[in-house]
Chain A
Amino acid sequence: MRKKKESKKTIVLTGTAGFYGSSLLRELEKDPRYPNIIAIDCRKPPFELKKTRFYRMSLTETLADSKLVDLLKNEEIDTFIHMAFPYSPPHNLEAVHDLVSVGTMYILNCCAALKVRKIIMSSTTEVYGAHPSNPNFLSEDYERRGGYKSRFLRDKIEAENQFLAFAKKHPETIVTILRPCTTLGPNVRNYKTTFLQRSVLMRVMGYDPLVQFVHEDDVMRAFKLILENDCPGVYNIVGEGVLPISRVLKIAGKLSLPIPSPLLYPFVQLMWYAGIFAAPSSRLDFLKYLSVADGERAKKIGFKPKYSSKDALLSFLGAQRVKNVRLLERTVS
């Protein structure tokens, strides 16, 4: 691990309209150590930019790699952070497949052409999949079985593999992949928060796996840590401790209906097709089986989560309650 010198070099971010991308961009905007920032996305970041240069561009268009190289060839690019990934299961699998697989390929071609010093990718611990034969704490080297049932996760694993292959091919480049687990906090929105916002939830009867959470601020802290220090490799970013799902629902004060899994799977799939539920039935596995990642490796490089799993959940729930109250006020006035 080498400390990075104070440099005037450029940092490029993709996917700055998404949650991780926009949060990290906000952090970097505040940080005077990073004067040159370039943001690339097909939508504008959701706040006003002061020093960041924003280029509107879709990574799925043909020859996006050449266009990117033309755009960035006069810059001295130090770090490339690739965050243009959807986090909630999509309905339009084809478009997302284009973005995740082909977009990643374009980004890596561009990085190779520009000889970028360091590339960082955001992934998720869902790539391990939920499986009854999982160890209680999945290390970074464990087999990724999330793609067996879900094409969306298969694409994500494939994108990770592209990065790992790139690291083999270009040993001079520092390649880091971060896998945050379920991220909760006051601002984050994904299919899991949608699930936790419902007042009546469905559980799989008889299954009560242990789950873990990480706070959004901790995820940002991890990304900044990787920016400041050079740590090649894959890292799980998780909060301390685990909670059984039943405990999570109890803390959240939700009413939960236990439904036998042979009935629940087709029902959830139907609701997913109808656009009422935020995730297809393959995600029910995460309510049935264990999928908890081990955060030891990230601790060794100096990542200390400030929130435990339970604190992250409480932070999310507290913000949620405040939002609900505000919503009431708005309807009244």
Chain B
Amino acid sequence: MNDEGKIHYLKRGPGESWEELARRLETRLSELEKELGHHPRKEKTPALKLLKTFWFGDENEPVEYDEFGRDINFVKKVKPLFDFLYYNYWRVRVQGVKNVPSEGRGLIVANHSGTLPYDGAMIGLAVHNDHPVRRDVRFLVEDFVYHFPFLGTFMYRIGGVRACQENAERLLRENHLVTVFPEGIKGIGKHFKNRYQLQRFGRAGFIKLALKTGSPLIPTAVIGAEEIHPMIYKSTILARPLGVPYLPVTPTLPLLGPLGLIPLPSKWSIYFGEPFDFHKTYGPDAVNDQLLINRLSEEVRQKIQEMVIEGLKQRRSTWFG
């Protein structure tokens, strides 16, 4: 309302798009704010308080977290950092993302690598950034992470869930997409000389999950994660008192101290393969057929290994793709 008591409407001009109108509205609003002398106060927040609001959330923001502790506001805060890694640092190239179902449950089975589990986050981002439906993916985390201060908390806030049958089953029954790495620690803690060789697939729990919950399995190959922390030596004896599975020695890690934790900027590609629909072929009763389960698990492993080899054939350079 202006001084003469007349109301000014902002009308959409001919051929003007809604975005332009919105922009005009915003500029008009800021003009009005200046006229009325309303200046939003910008306080200087001390660093400690910034850290505190980052970690514990702001007093005033509505709290949204699900039953596994994923904190949407926290995800919004850390997403720019992960997006930087995704778009600018590792320049992730995604193929076959259409193989990820647009709705309902699904189990993304991938090769595990890279000493630190960045690949789970990147697969999640690939589906979130490049899939037409922009779905969220939950990933399963090794439980040694939860021994550590800050790390375990961070993981569950960004959507990680402790890797066990009960949790994965619950997630799938709630129609989530779940990423699993059947190689587990053996895969992520590979020696650099064994890079891109898939390790044994454990007890094939993921096949049981897929059969029990009727979820399609999406075989996925991640290329490029092996080179972010090339492990040239690992010590298990020194790792034992710390409760970690291994202490890695990479060209940078103990040498440069904390700087060694910065991963190397290799070029990544993520390939999503054709889904396996084992639950349709064999039905839920196949859960008790351990022989069949192990066979299916090996079949999936072979498929991912083939995809990895195919991806490596297409890659001309580690750093430039």
Q: How far is the CA of A250 from the CA of B52 in the complex (A)?
A: 12
Residue B167 at the chain A interface, CB threshold 8 Å: yes
Pick the contact of B149: A205, A244, A250 (CB < 8 A).
A205
Q: List 14 A-B contacts (CB under 8 A).
A: A132-B143, A133-B162, A136-B69, A136-B161, A136-B166, A137-B166, A142-B166, A206-B151, A241-B67, A242-B67, A242-B69, A250-B56, A290-B146, A290-B162
Interface residues of B (CB under 8 A from A): 56-57, 59, 63, 65, 67-69, 143-144, 146-153, 156, 161-162, 164, 166-167, 170
Residue A265 at the chain B interface, CB threshold 8 Å: no
What distance in Å separates the Cβ of B24 from its nearest Cβ neighbour in chain A? 40
Pick the contact of A247: B63, B146, B167 (CB < 8 A).
B63
Minimal Cβ-Cβ distance residue in A for B169:
A135
What distance in Å separates the Cβ of A207 from its nearest Cβ neighbour in chain B? 6
Residue A229 at the chain B interface, CB threshold 8 Å: no
Interface residues of A (CB under 8 A from B): 132-137, 139, 142, 204-208, 210, 241-242, 244, 246-247, 250, 260-261, 289-290
Complex interface: chain A residues within 8 A of B166 (CB): 135-137, 139, 142
Q: Are B167 and A136 in contact (CB under 8 A)?
A: yes
Q: Are B162 and A136 in contact (CB under 8 A)?
A: yes
What distance in Å separates the Cβ of B60 from its nearest Cβ neighbour in chain A? 12
Q: Are B69 and A132 in contact (CB under 8 A)?
A: no
Q: How far is the CA of A139 from the CA of B152 in the complex (A)?
A: 22
Q: How far is the CA of A247 from the CA of B63 in the complex (A)?
A: 9
Complex interface: chain A residues within 8 A of B170 (CB): 136-137
Complex interface: chain B residues within 8 A of A208 (CB): 153
Complex interface: chain A residues within 8 A of B164 (CB): 133, 135
Pick the contact of A136: B63, B68, B144 (CB < 8 A).
B68
Q: How far is the CA of A210 from the CA of B143 in the complex (A)?
A: 15
Q: How far is the CA of A139 from the CA of B144 in the complex (A)?
A: 22
Q: Are B153 and A132 in contact (CB under 8 A)?
A: no
Complex interface: chain A residues within 8 A of B153 (CB): 206-208
Minimal Cβ-Cβ distance residue in A for B148:
A206
Complex interface: chain A residues within 8 A of B150 (CB): 206
Known pairs A132-B146, A210-B69, A290-B146; list 18 more (Cβ under 8 Å): A132-B144, A132-B162, A133-B143, A133-B146, A134-B162, A135-B166, A135-B167, A136-B67, A136-B68, A136-B69, A136-B166, A137-B67, A137-B170, A206-B149, A207-B149, A246-B56, A250-B59, A260-B149
Q: Are A289 and B148 in contact (CB under 8 A)?
A: no
Minimal Cβ-Cβ distance residue in A for B147:
A132
Q: How far is the CA of A133 from the CA of B140 in the complex (A)?
A: 12
Q: How far is the CA of A261 from the CA of B147 in the complex (A)?
A: 11
Complex interface: chain A residues within 8 A of B68 (CB): 136
Minimal Cβ-Cβ distance residue in B for A246:
B56
